[in-house]
Structure 1
Amino acid sequence: MEDTRGDAADRSNRGDEGGESTGVGGDARAVAADDPATVDPSILHLSPAEREARGITDDDVRETFRTVLERGTEDQKDLSGVTLPALALDRTTLESADRHPVDLSGATIEALSLSYSRVTVPVVLDGATLGSLRLTEAHAETPVSCSDVTVTGETSLFEAQFDNDVAFDGATFEGPVDCDEATFRDDVRFDEATFDDEVTFRAAECHGDSNHLDDNTSFSGATFRSTVSFRETEFGFTMFDDLTCCETAVFQEATFTGDAEFHGAGFGADADFDEVEFRDDTAFTNATFQQQATFRGASFAGGARTLTDDASFAEAVFHDAVTFRRASFRYVTFADAEFRGTARFESATFNGDADFPNVSFARAVNFDEGRFREDADFSGGQFDGPCTFRGCEFVGGANHLKDDVSFEKARFADDVDFHDAEIASANVRNVAFGGTIDFSRCLVSERIDIEAHGIDDDAFVDFTRGKIRSGRIVQPAEGWVRYDLTLASVGDVELEAERTTDRRQLLDYFRFCRTEFDEFDGHTFDFSGHREYLDRNGWTIHGFDEPRTDEFDPDYALEMTPEVIETTYLKAKQSASEIGDMKTAGEFRVKRQRYSRHKTLEAVSDPDAGLWTRLKNLGRVVENCFLGLTCGHGMRPMRIGIVFAIAPLFFAIPYAFGGPLFETGAEGFYENLYFSYISYTTIGYGDIGPIGPLARLLAGSEAYLSTVLAALLVYALVKRSEL
């Protein structure tokens, strides 16, 4: 029987005397086209040594394989476990009389090439070992099953097209894999596949079918030991869960039209997702990035479902730098994520809720110019490095039941920058500050609630030129924080202390300097709740208490000149007057006049000013001093009353002891005191009169002084009655 097979193979190889051949396309094959009995696959089951011993060439094997593929029965197409030479079936159309697959499960093939071919016969290569696999520009219309296949050399699917399911799950690719511009129109699986060399899927298309209950493309548990590129690839519903990339992974400009699942994926080197479009839900939960990860310009649009986040990086770990610069998100969560390197979110846009609860940033994080269109949650976050939110917009959405941005229970160990940020409403309660918190030029259009404690004694919040419409700032039991409100606009903001006993020193930690208090219509700052402190501290609001450490030396926006301080108390007075707190308004008016005097003194001492200008300012200084000493600028009626009552006493002394120049005709101090009082009150009974020239001068001065002091007394009483 074996000899017969050998002779038949030999004849097949040589052809008959008429030159007719039984090879590919020969007449013999055409004659037996409908007769499976003429197909003899036995030589395919021989070992290479047995074939060599019988003189069966590799061409005989290839011709027999082709014959079996086209005309073989189901049993004849069972070639599992065979060992074959290189099969080159390029530029042909592989058709079969039936739809039974060619089963090469467990086979060993030196190389398999179907480049530029059209394959209409199902091919099974499960568990096979191939020296190389080439399907360059091939078109497979039937399923291709290569589960657990091992390819020891090159694999090329360049521009190949697969109309049906393709399975490479469990496959091992020891050589490079080229799937550039390949098209997978149905489901394709590379689950648990191992790629030992470079892999490229550039501009490939993995569309899948319309079945949303399964994944169109799956690389679950796949391992890429070398670089892999999916640049510009188009995916449908895709699974990359538990993926392992040991070297650089590139997804730049890829498009995911369905769900993209990267749960538990591990990236051992750089991961490039720049300009990727995720049009449906995306999950990088528990993913690990050992080196740099970039998502610059990536788009996370999400799908129609509202029960899950459109993008999730929950519990992801970024060991090195990561950037989401100019990325756009809808609903996204980074809950419990760890950023161990620098994180950059500059100009990122969050069109839905942005959830960062319990996230940790070990180094610098940058959200400059970020746009948060819905609620943002950073509660419980750990910020160990510098943090910047410069120019961010936290405008919130239609949900008024919670804050537009929340940092509740967050911890900032270093400086934080909210310069020029726009915030609708914010929750900054139970927060720890370890450095300078810069809210300069920040706009709070609705409300901010701050209850922060300092990690050290130098915690400092800078609201210079900021605008706060309303809110509440609470000093905790321990670790008070200083707030600088220089040039800020403060509306209806409550200042409180957690412990009632601490409220007396509350304003020691707030600095108002040229602060606007009535910019927001209907929201005016109220000093009346702090009168106890202000009375104790001389109504001073333009400075902090003495710093507890020598290191506290922030840069203030304005130098504390008398003019600056005067303007500060003028604005405070106007604010108190607007809400009807005349007592506070009056006290601030006294403070303002004091620093106005200092300002005018500087003009008096200015050597570059003209003489007349200096004299006029000197007159203002004298006037200011006089009003301050006599009636406290209208706020001290008791003082002017006492001055009015005892002023004649001082005139009586020169009358009594001044000699002839002050002679009045009275004898003794008592009569001179009597004369002083009747001169002061301009009663003039006529029994006593000034005789000496200086006595006449003093008597007239007393009458004039009494008029002035009486007017001041009336002025002070009227002002006092307004309180």
Structure 2
Amino acid sequence: MTGRGDGSSERGAVEAFEAANGVGDAGGDVEAATEVLRCSPDERAERGVSDDDVRAAFLTVVREGDADAKDLRGVELPAIELDRLTVDGADRHPVDLRGATVASLSARFATIRLPLRLDDATLGDVTFDEAHVEEAVLADGATVTGDFEAFEARFAGDVEFDGATFEGRFDVDESTFANDVTFDGATFDGVVEARAAEFYGDSNLLDDNTSFTGATFADLADFRQAEFGFTHFERATFADEANFQEASFDGDAEFDEAVFEAFADFDEARFGGDTGFADVAFTGDADFRGAAFSGRERALDEDATFAGSTFGGDADFRHARFRFVTFAEVAFEGRVHFEEAEFDADATFADARFAAETDFDEARFREDADFSAVEFAARAVFRGAEFTGGANFLEDDLTFEGAHFGADADFHNAEVTSANFVDTTFGGEIDFSGASFSERIDFEASQVDGDAWVDFTRAKIVSGRIAQPAENWVRYDLTLASLGDVELVAAADEDHRRLLDFFRFCRTEFTEFDGHEFDFSAHREYLDRNAWAIHEFHEPPDADPDYELAMTPEVTETTYLKAKQSAAAVGDMKVAGEFRVKRQQYSRAKNLEVARDDSAATWTRTKNLGRAAENYFLGVTCGHGMRPIRIGFAFVLAPLLYVPFYAFGGGPFLTAAGQLSVAEAFTTDGLATLFDVARFSYISYTTIGYGFLGPEGRLAEVLAASEAYLSVVLSALLVYALVKRSEM
């Protein structure tokens, strides 16, 4: 054994020991030293052996002793100081202090090249600050009654403290453990400081490099910026704060069934292998902000699992990044934050429970996201979240099948490829405004109370299905939405006739997506029964919804224009025509609204009044082209409207057919006169002009001319109505 300096203090101790014990040769040195070490403290006192003598004897045995000499099991030793020494021996047998009691062990700046066996030993303070321990340290069941300090130490061999107890502070800040490290079942009563420590193991993928399985941390456990290889903390208990901030786990990290009774801080931690937090109890807040779970390329395993865990406090995963991850059956009792989290592979939250507000604001799900049977007891926010899905054509990219939203659900501006909301229940406001479903949606929701509605304002839905369940129907507001070939259905066939009572279309686009036009044909029975109205849905008596747009005549007119274009795009001209009639009705109301506006210019009011009158005329005469029978009757019977004027109007209305009094109308001569008057009216109306009957009074001339004009107008309207009808 040689010192790092000139070794004079060591040699002085050895020489003092030899003089006190009459030792003269090397063999005798070892034997005498071994005998001293195996004596009890009382026996040493009787022989006058000082603590310095004992330390010198220990150094002699370590330096020269064989396996038998270094078998020091059960001995009681004073403080052993190896500071700044290079501790080596004649052979590689370990220094066996199993069951021994050592007042303290200090090896600051030392180099130790022999294995140490300290199983079941009782030690006071243990200090390895900046030491190099090149062989194994085996201390299963040991008890350290003082502080354990190993600042910037390097342990090249295995380090085993299974079942050990550390009653004081445990400090391995910036230390390096190059081989396997095990603290399974260990108890740390004091503060644990392992900041920037390196637990790299021996790169053996089949073994545990670092293990704290079943360990108990009674005070602060500080692993900030620590670096781990393959790591196990299963069933570990952290009674105080556990700080793994910015720690990195290059291999698999297992925390299954661990208990965090206080704050668990994994802020900015990096998990390079598979990570297990299954069945973990987080009693306090848990912080995983900015944590990255990279995982490994294993097709059958999740890269990270929190399945079955309980978060008793707030859970913060903001800006975290995952590959395959599962939160199945997790219970979140506090607020949950996943804002701007990124899920690069499948994410599973099936059967999870969120008791407080949950926020996935602007989260990114790049493959399938499973929220089936999830319960959201409080407000759930998915604003701006992206569910882009993967190349899996057999499942939905996003599923909330069987999920329950007990309060508000906010999907404002969410972007989804395909989604499944079958058997989903809602208990608050349901906001899908601005959301986009680029492939399809399968939506079958029911409501907990009676006034919920789904706000699809400005949403874009390319295709899919929106179904009403057997009971507890939900209303759908599609104001300014873009709707493709979406099927609207009811669970029971007999309910189909009232289906559109629960859908509100307001300036809704139906033809935005090429090849995906919305088809009203399946709802003809409802539309015909309901006078082809689609701009309102049935509301409960006390409802006071805050719509994006009020149904003004102008807005309603545009709504039916877009509906007409949709029906025409799918070739249903009957429905297109009916919507055209509805559009004209609200166009007339719009013009009358301007005409009544005192603040508008006189000419503007006049023009709009004229348009309203024209609109009314077209509606009355031919139903805006949809009622050819009506205009046909009008065309045939219009001349009869002039007969009373010609027959009973007096001199100004006199014609060559003659006139009569009302009393003479039903006499033989009177009927003949009425016939001649009617014949004159039809001659004027058809502009035949046989010449033997003509107007004589001035007003009769005017009426005869107006009849000719009316015949032109009505014949044109009849042709217009017949053409429109033929298009159906």
TM over 0.5: yes
1:299 counterpart residue number: 292
2:706 counterpart residue number: 701
1:558 counterpart residue number: 549
2:564 counterpart residue number: 573
* C-alpha distance 20-481 of structure 1, shift in aligned 2 (>3 A): closer
SS at 1:512's partner residue? strand
Give a deviation string over 1:133-173, Cα, whole Å, max 9, x none: 11111111111011111111111011111111000110111
- Out of 189, 198, 202, the residue aligned to residue 196 of structure 1 is 189
2:394 counterpart residue number: 401
CA RMSD of aligned residues (A): 2.2
Q: Post-superposition shift, 1:549?
A: 4.4
Matched letter for residue 602 of structure 1: E
When structure 1 is superposed on structure 2, of 248-257 and 646-655 the one drifting more is 646-655
Q: Distance in 2 between matches of 1:483 and 1:21?
A: 93
Q: Post-superposition shift, 1:347?
A: 0.9
2:381 counterpart residue number: 388
Matched letter for residue 501 of structure 2: D
2:718 counterpart residue number: 713
- Out of 265, 277, 293, the residue aligned to residue 270 of structure 2 is 277
The alignment status of 1:421 with 2:449, answered yes or no, reads no
SS at 1:131's partner residue? strand
Matched letter for residue 715 of structure 2: A
Matched letter for residue 695 of structure 1: A
Matched letter for residue 614 of structure 1: R
Q: Post-superposition shift, 1:223?
A: 0.5
Give a deviation string over 1:46-78, Cα, whole Å, max 9, x none: 332333333321111111122122222322222
Alignment of 1:236-255 (within 5 A): 236-255=229-248
Q: Distance in 2 between matches of 1:469 and 1:518?
A: 10
SS at 1:132's partner residue? strand
Give a deviation string over 1:593-645, Cα, whole Å, max 9, x none: 11111111122223333322222222111111110111111111121122223
Q: Distance in 1 between matches of 2:465 and 2:407?
A: 23
When structure 1 is superposed on structure 2, of 423-432 and 76-85 the one drifting more is 76-85
Q: Distance in 1 between matches of 2:717 and 2:306?
A: 73
1:648 counterpart residue number: 639
Q: Distance in 1 between matches of 2:315 and 2:17?
A: 58
Q: Please say if residues 32 and 38 of structure 1, whose CA atoms lie closer than 8 Å, have aligned partners that are also in contact.
A: no
Alignment of 1:112-261 (within 5 A): 112-261=105-254
- Out of 576, 585, 592, the residue aligned to residue 585 of structure 1 is 576
Q: Distance in 2 between matches of 1:604 and 1:25?
A: 124
Matched letter for residue 303 of structure 1: R
Give a deviation string over 1:65-115, Cα, whole Å, max 9, x none: 221222223222222222221112211111111222121112122111111
Give a deviation string over 1:677-719, Cα, whole Å, max 9, x none: 4433334555554444333333332232222112211211111
When structure 1 is superposed on structure 2, of 248-257 and 92-101 the one drifting more is 92-101
Matched letter for residue 467 of structure 2: V
2:687 counterpart residue number: 682
Q: Distance in 2 between matches of 1:616 and 1:501?
A: 48
* C-alpha distance 256-23 of structure 1, shift in aligned 2 (>3 A): farther
Q: Distance in 1 between matches of 2:16 and 2:619?
A: 123
Q: Distance in 2 between matches of 1:165 and 1:25?
A: 35
When structure 1 is superposed on structure 2, of 41-50 and 221-230 the one drifting more is 41-50
2:623 counterpart residue number: 632
The alignment status of 1:548 with 2:540, answered yes or no, reads yes
The alignment status of 1:341 with 2:334, answered yes or no, reads yes
SS at 1:638's partner residue? helix
Q: Please say if residues 282 and 312 of structure 1, whose CA atoms lie closer than 8 Å, have aligned partners that are also in contact.
A: yes
Q: Please say if residues 20 and 26 of structure 1, whose CA atoms lie closer than 8 Å, have aligned partners that are also in contact.
A: no
Q: Please say if residues 143 and 164 of structure 2, whose CA atoms lie closer than 8 Å, have aligned partners that are also in contact.
A: yes
Give a deviation string over 1:335-387, Cα, whole Å, max 9, x none: 11111111111111111111111111111111111111111111111111111
Structure 1, unaligned runs of 5 or more: 1-13
When structure 1 is superposed on structure 2, of 52-61 and 583-592 the one drifting more is 52-61
Q: Please say if residues 461 and 482 of structure 2, whose CA atoms lie closer than 8 Å, have aligned partners that are also in contact.
A: yes
Q: Please say if residues 18 and 29 of structure 2, whose CA atoms lie closer than 8 Å, have aligned partners that are also in contact.
A: no
What TM-score does the superposition give when structure 2 sets the normalisation length?
A: 0.93
1:493 counterpart residue number: 486
2:593 counterpart residue number: 602
SS at 2:717's partner residue? helix
Q: Distance in 2 between matches of 1:21 and 1:81?
A: 23
Give a deviation string over 1:202-244, Cα, whole Å, max 9, x none: 0000010122111000000000011111111110111000010
What TM-score does the superposition give when structure 1 sets the normalisation length?
A: 0.94
SS at 2:440's partner residue? strand
Q: Distance in 2 between matches of 1:410 and 1:584?
A: 37
2:33 counterpart residue number: 40
Q: Please say if residues 509 and 544 of structure 1, whose CA atoms lie closer than 8 Å, have aligned partners that are also in contact.
A: yes
Q: Distance in 1 between matches of 2:434 and 2:511?
A: 17
Give a deviation string over 1:422-476, Cα, whole Å, max 9, x none: 1111111111122222111111111111111112222211111111111111111
SS at 1:680's partner residue? helix
Q: Distance in 2 between matches of 1:38 and 1:381?
A: 73
Q: Post-superposition shift, 1:298?
A: 0.7
2:6 counterpart residue number: none
Q: Distance in 2 between matches of 1:434 and 1:690?
A: 77
* C-alpha distance 624-102 of structure 1, shift in aligned 2 (>3 A): same
1:620 counterpart residue number: 611
Q: Distance in 1 between matches of 2:173 and 2:255?
A: 22
2:255 counterpart residue number: 262
* C-alpha distance 26-663 of structure 1, shift in aligned 2 (>3 A): farther
Q: Post-superposition shift, 1:321?
A: 0.6
Q: Please say if residues 413 and 434 of structure 2, whose CA atoms lie closer than 8 Å, have aligned partners that are also in contact.
A: yes
* C-alpha distance 165-661 of structure 1, shift in aligned 2 (>3 A): same
Structure 2, unaligned runs of 5 or more: 1-8, 666-670
Give a deviation string over 1:394-445, Cα, whole Å, max 9, x none: 1111221211111111111111111121111111111112222211111111
Q: Distance in 2 between matches of 1:161 and 1:259?
A: 23
SS at 1:485's partner residue? strand
Q: Count the aligned residue pairs.
A: 706
Q: Post-superposition shift, 1:486?
A: 1.0
